[in-house]
Amino acid sequence: MDTDCPPAERRWPEPRPAGYDPGAFTPFAVTVDIVLMTVVQRQLKLLLIRRGRPPYEGAWALPGGFVKPDEDLATAAARELLEETGISTTTGSLRQIGSYGDPARDPRMRVVTVAYGAVAVRLEEAPRGGSDAAEAELVPVAEVQSDRLPLAFDHRRIVDDAVDRLRADLETTGVAHSFCPPEFTVRELREVHEAILQTELDSGNFQRKVTGREGYITPTERRAPTGERGGRPATLWRAGRPEDAE
Amino acid sequence: MDTDCPPAERRWPEPRPAGYDPGAFTPFAVTVDIVLMTVVQRQLKLLLIRRGRPPYEGAWALPGGFVKPDEDLATAAARELLEETGISTTTGSLRQIGSYGDPARDPRMRVVTVAYGAVAVRLEEAPRGGSDAAEAELVPVAEVQSDRLPLAFDHRRIVDDAVDRLRADLETTGVAHSFCPPEFTVRELREVHEAILQTELDSGNFQRKVTGREGYITPTERRAPTGERGGRPATLWRAGRPEDAE
DNA sequence: CCCGGTTATTGTCGAGATGACTCTAACATG
DNA sequence: CATGTTAGAGTCATCTCGACAATAACCGGG
């Protein structure tokens, strides 16, 4: 979020290496920002936090913050997400989107931010469990990309890049699963695809495609409870191959 | 390259914003590293520089260096490439690969590096035109990926990521063109694909594919000079649509 | 219990993409 | 002019994918 300034625990690892001159290069602040996405009500949404101080005071921004002295970038992203939203993720599930370092992107000082994409399973409303008490909200990605909801800093561009990346990953990886609970119906999986790609998919063709893809999903013996208006009960599936314990 | 320490021109932009405490966060060094790739003799090669000082003194490393106080990341990458190799690129042709910030990746201090991919047209041998006099060499990517040629820092991983990215981009973008001169034959384009994908492609099918792809390449009236062993002269093509002036 | 409504899943069919392969065109050399 | 070489078009079986049935399995109401 480029906001909060944690106390400097120590400026440099000690002992300072011989022959190293701390004044010989430009110091940067390095932050991480997280684009946490979820699909709810057939809509792709992302988590935003309202800034409590200038610049961009009162504006919506991505959760994030400074990387600590002995922390990996992905670790910092997972920590910030936990602190600000209470959502726990593994560093392996975070995907690096890119880095943003325009000299003017933060009016206070020179900041380079590394953006990470994360996925939550059907997050209905913004969590309040974060230790950093701050107003959080889940907003549709369309609200941001249509400029109806402006963001602080260059976060709009980060969101665009994260969504582009998510769309590309949808075809080539199994990201779609991480939007669903451990057991899910093909319909749920299809609605995730539809929300992300902003398109309608033929249910029959989609079924054929995902069930035919080797090692993509495996059926269970269980059925999902039927809906309000009846209909044939859907098979519950799990991600990956049969052996996979995921 | 994580090596050279340029003089700090100024540590922070002046005037220092009110309410900003320079000790309140951890300062990082931010560098850029460039993976410059080219296809020569049907081989994908990349440019390396021999380090002249510890750590990893004498080891091969990617060209790169510190980002300056008022410089964008991509601008820094283009500048470092020019300084160290004499090769001039536009920031638009640089592709950001990712950022690497393991706390232990540089034994001297906390460094985050942003890696960029760049492409040169049939670079036969390592250029000596850089103002930073350093030993440079073009080595086959296979030498690096087979561990026959170890690299400094985490540059091996950066190379892996850059090559993965290049392979993905090959299908979805027009990167392949940038390995070729403005006018090229379909054969040259195919050999670029083959070198990058490490596979043999059927010449007829490849011809059909690239000529059939709308707006991908356009024929000229000119023919390439025939080879040593004769053969029908090949049509010269240009990248993009007919109107494009590229 | 039978019937229409609803959803899940399978099947059919045609258009286009792809891989293996053949065939022709246009040059060179002797 | 025969022969070798490369460029590029053509052939054909296979695969993929979208549009569109058809069938299966549940609901609630008569």
Q: pLDDT, tens digit, for every residue of A132-181?
A: 767 899 999 999 999 999 999 999 999 999 999 999 999 999 999 999 99
Return d(Cα B83, Cα B131) in angstroms, integer: 5
If DSSP states are collapsed to H, E and C, what string results for chain B?
CCCCCCCCCCCCCCCCCCCCCCCCCCEEEEEEEEEEEEEECCEEEEEEEECCCCCCCCCEECCEEECCCCCCHHHHHHHHHHHHHCCCCCHHHCEEEEEECCCCCCCCCCEEEEEEEEECCCCCCCCCCCCCCCCEEEEEHHHHHCCCCCECCCHHHHHHHHHHHHHHHHHHCCHHHHHCCCCECHHHHHHHHHHHHCCCCCHHHHHHHHHHCCCCEEEEEEECCCECCECCCCEEEEECCCCCCC
Residue A70: which of B99, B100, B103 has the nearest Cβ?
A: B103
As a rounded value in angstroms, the CA-to-C1' distance for B189 and C22 is 24
Please identify which residue in the block is written with the tokens 């087979």: B146
CB contact under 8 A, A28 and B98: no
What DSSP character marks residue A101? -
Q: Is B200's CB less than 7 Å from nucleic acid strand C?
A: no
> CA nearest B152: which of B84, B73, B63?
B63
Residue A96 contacts B, CB cutoff 8 Å: yes
Q: For chain A, where are the alpha helices, taking DSSP H only?
A: 73-85, 141-145, 155-172, 186-197, 203-212
B99 contacts in chain A (CB < 8 Å): 73, 96, 98-99, 114
Who among A24, A99, A108 is closest to B96 (CB)? A99
CA distance B138 to A74: 32
The chain B residue lying nearest A98, using CA atoms, is B98
> Do B30 and A70 count as a contact with CB atoms less than 8 A apart?
no
Whether A30 sits inside 8 A of B28 (CB atoms) is yes
* Residue B134 · residue B50 · CB < 8 Å: yes
What is the ipTM, given to two decimal places? 0.89
State the DSSP code for A175: G
Under CATH, which number does the domain A29-172 receive? Answer: 3.90.79.10
Q: Which residue of B has its CA nearest to A15?
A: B108
Q: Do B26 and A25 touch (CB under 8 A)?
A: no
Q: Is residue A18 less than 8 Å (CB to CB) from chain B?
A: no
Task: List the single protein residue with the shortest CA to C1' distance from D8.
Answer: B204
Contacts of B30 in chain A (CB under 8 A): 26, 28, 30, 101, 112
Name which of A25, A73, A161 to mutate to probe chain B: the one with the most chain B Cβ atoms within 10 A of its Cβ. A25
Cis amide bond preceding B15, omega within 30: yes
Q: What is the pLDDT of residue B25?
A: 80
A185 touches strand C (CB under 7 A): yes
Q: Reply yes or no on domain A181-239 having CATH 1.10.10.10.
A: yes
Q: How far apart are CA A36 and CA A127, in angstroms?
A: 12
Residue B87's Cβ-side half-sphere holds a number of Cα atoms within 13 Å equal to: 27
Fold of B175-239: Arc Repressor Mutant, subunit A (1.10.10)
Please list every residue in chain B whose beta carbon sits closer than 8 Å to the beta carbon of residue A5.
21, 24-25
Instruction: Provide the sign of the torsion angle of the four alpha carbons A233, A238, A241, A243, taken in this order.
Output: negative
DSSP code for A215 = T
Residues of B recognised as catalytic: 135
Catalytic residue among A14, A84, A124, A135: A135
CB of B5 closer than 8 Å to CB of A24 = yes
State how far the Cα of B193 lies from the Cα of A229, in Å rounded to an integer.
53
A161, A27, B26, B22 alpha-carbon torsion, rounded to 10°: -110
Contact A91, A72 (CB under 8 A): yes
D strand bases under 7 Å from protein CB: 4-11, 17-22, 24-28
Q: What is the pLDDT of residue B245?
A: 55
Residues of A in contact with B101 (CB under 8 A): 30, 67, 72-73, 114
DSSP 3-state of A157: helix
Interchain contact, A101 vs B24, CB within 8 Å: no
Q: What radius of gyration, in Å, describes the C-alpha atoms of chain A?
A: 21
- Give every CB contact of residue A161 below 8 A, 6+ residues apart in sequence: A97, A98, A115
- Does the beta-carbon distance from A26 to B30 stay under 8 Å? yes
Q: Which among B96, B103, B108 has the least Cβ separation from residue A20?
A: B108
Residue A235 contacts strand C, CB under 7 A = yes
% of chain B with per-residue pLDDT over 70: 88
Q: Give CA separation, A100 vs A97, A156, A192, B184, in Å.
A: 10, 12, 28, 35
Give the nucleotide nearest to B219 (CA→C1'): D8
* Spans of chain A, pLDDT less than 70: 1-24, 129-130, 133, 244-246
Q: What is the pLDDT of residue B189?
A: 98
A225 touches strand C (CB under 7 A): no
CB A238 within 8 A of CB A246: yes
Alpha-carbon distance of A149 to A144, in angstroms, equals 5
Arch. (CATH architecture) of B29-156: Alpha-Beta Complex (3.90)
Q: Which residues of chain B have pLDDT under 70?
A: 1-24, 129-130, 133, 244-246
Nearest CA in chain B to A29: B27
Q: State whether B26 and A68 contact (CB < 8 Å).
A: yes
Q: What is the pLDDT of residue A87?
A: 93
Domains of chain A: which residue ranges? 29-172, 181-239
Q: Are the C-beta atoms of B103 and A101 separated by less than 8 Å?
A: no
Residue labelled with tokens 């951890």: B26
**Residue B238 CB partners (closer than 8 Å, separation 6+):** B182, B183, B217, B218, B220, B244, B246
